[in-house]
Every structure is written in C-alpha cells, then in structure tokens.
Chain A
Amino acid sequence: GNSVTQMEGPVTLSEEAFLTINCTYTATGYPSLFWYVQYPGEGLQLLLKATKADDKGSNKGFEATYRKETTSFHLEKGSVQVSDSAVYFCALSNAGNNRKLIWGLGTSLAVNP
C-alpha cells in the first residue's frame, strides 16, 4: 500500500542552523509528493510539491527533491528563522488510492533565537 514515514520530532535548532527533515515513502507507480506546514493555531499551508522523479520543489528558502531511487523527499533549508517554528507534514497522492492524501505523522520544529 501507500505510506509516508517522516523523522520524529521535536526538532530544536538555533536560528541560522541548517535544517533537514527526512521523509520516505512507499507507493506503487508515480505519486505526487508534498510538504505542508502548519504554524501554531493555523490551518495547513502547502509549502512545496514535486510531481515526478528528480523534480525539485522550492518555496520560502525550503527545498525538497523527489528521489525515486531512494523513495525519499527530504525537506531542507539552509538557514532557519524563528518564524519557521511549525509542524511540517510530508504527504503523497497516488492514482492508485483515489488520489487521497497519505500523510506522515508530522515533525515539530522549534527554532530558538
């Protein structure tokens, strides 16, 4: 079946540190991959996406590359800010399951000044 595994948090970093949040997936065929972010007290915002192998999604300094050979979609940012403190969810959408979003469990990030 389809599944998403992301690294457990919480992750605590100092401002300007490098961020990596690991995400791996299991799926048949060619899923679309997403990172969503949820700031405290808010709904979910699409951060970036990739729809085919080797695509790189990027937004607000965040990047993730769709790696089919390693079934991964790791989220990275070179220099985090306090305002990046949030919960980050990796998700996939696959034609084989009605294109419902399959979610990782989320990774909580806290950035200290």
Chain B
Amino acid sequence: DTEVTQTPKHLVMGMTNKKSLKCEQHMGHRAMYWYKQKAKKPPELMFVYSYEKLSINESVPSRFSPECPNSSLLNLHLHALQPEDSALYLCASSQVPRAGGGDEQFFGPGTRLTVL
C-alpha cells in the first residue's frame, strides 16, 4: 500500500467552529507532515512528526493544533480560523530523513478548507 489518505476531501467551517483533519498511511513511514498550499503556489510546511513526536513547528499559529496518535495517523485540529486560512491542506509521509538521502515524501490528495 503506497497511499496516503486524507479526510474529509472538502470542509467548510465558520470562524467559531472546531474541526479536525485526518491523515492515514500504511507504508510504515515514521515521519509525517502537514502542509498548507494556496492556489498555484508550492506547499508551505507547517509541522513535522518524527517517531510520533513533533520535531518541527514552522511558527504556525496556535489555532492549528497537530496530533499524532500513532505511527499511522496524523490529525490537524482547527479552532477559530480566519478566512485567510482557506487553502488546500496536504498530509505527507516519508522514511525518517537520514544522511544518505532518498527521502521522498508521499502526499495525500488534500483537504480543501474554506473558512467563512
């Protein structure tokens, strides 16, 4: 299985709502990532988990809260978002980066989020 799955595919939420995005992979990867992507732009890294521990937080506002319940699952909890947070949210996984390289990331299809 070489697939990363994400749910939901689309999400519309108000600024006072709380929602969660989910990501799952069964490739045995121990690194998982959240990215935000605006239209026609490259993805922007938000968070990295390595061996289920948060290893990188790219100064993301606290209204985004990641969680890694186990090695296959990654969640992104959303609360009090702003309209400018509307974007495609992508999850990815990879082998834990090592000195030798070859650490390609495998992406899910994304959740298209609209904040009203």
Contact = CB atoms under 8 A, between A and B. Distances in A.
A42 B101 CA distance: 27
A100 interface: yes
A42 B4 CA distance: 13
Contact of B97 (A34, A45, A99): A99
A100 to B, nearest CB: 6
Interface size class of B (residues with CB under 8 A): 20 to 34
A43 B56 CA distance: 22
A34 B104 contact: yes
Interface residues of A, number: 27
Contacts of A95: 97, 99, 101
Contact of A87 (B40, B45, B106): B40
B40 A106 contact: yes
Nearest to B56: A98
A103 B104 contact: no
Contacts, number: 59
Contact of B109 (A30, A42, A100): A42
Interface in A17-37: 30-32, 34, 36
A99 B40 contact: no
A46 to B, nearest CB: 5
A95 B102 CA distance: 11
A49 B90 CA distance: 20
Interface of A: 30-32, 34, 36, 42-46, 49, 51-52, 87, 89, 91, 93, 95, 98-101, 103-106, 108
Given A44-B107, A98-B97, A101-B105, 15 more contacts: A43-B6, A43-B88, A43-B90, A43-B109, A43-B110, A45-B107, A46-B105, A89-B42, A93-B101, A95-B97, A95-B101, A99-B103, A100-B48, A103-B42, A106-B42
Interface of B: 6, 40-43, 45, 48, 56, 88, 90, 92, 97, 99, 101-110
15 contacts: A32-B101, A32-B104, A42-B110, A43-B110, A44-B92, A49-B104, A91-B42, A95-B99, A98-B56, A99-B97, A100-B45, A100-B48, A101-B105, A103-B42, A106-B42
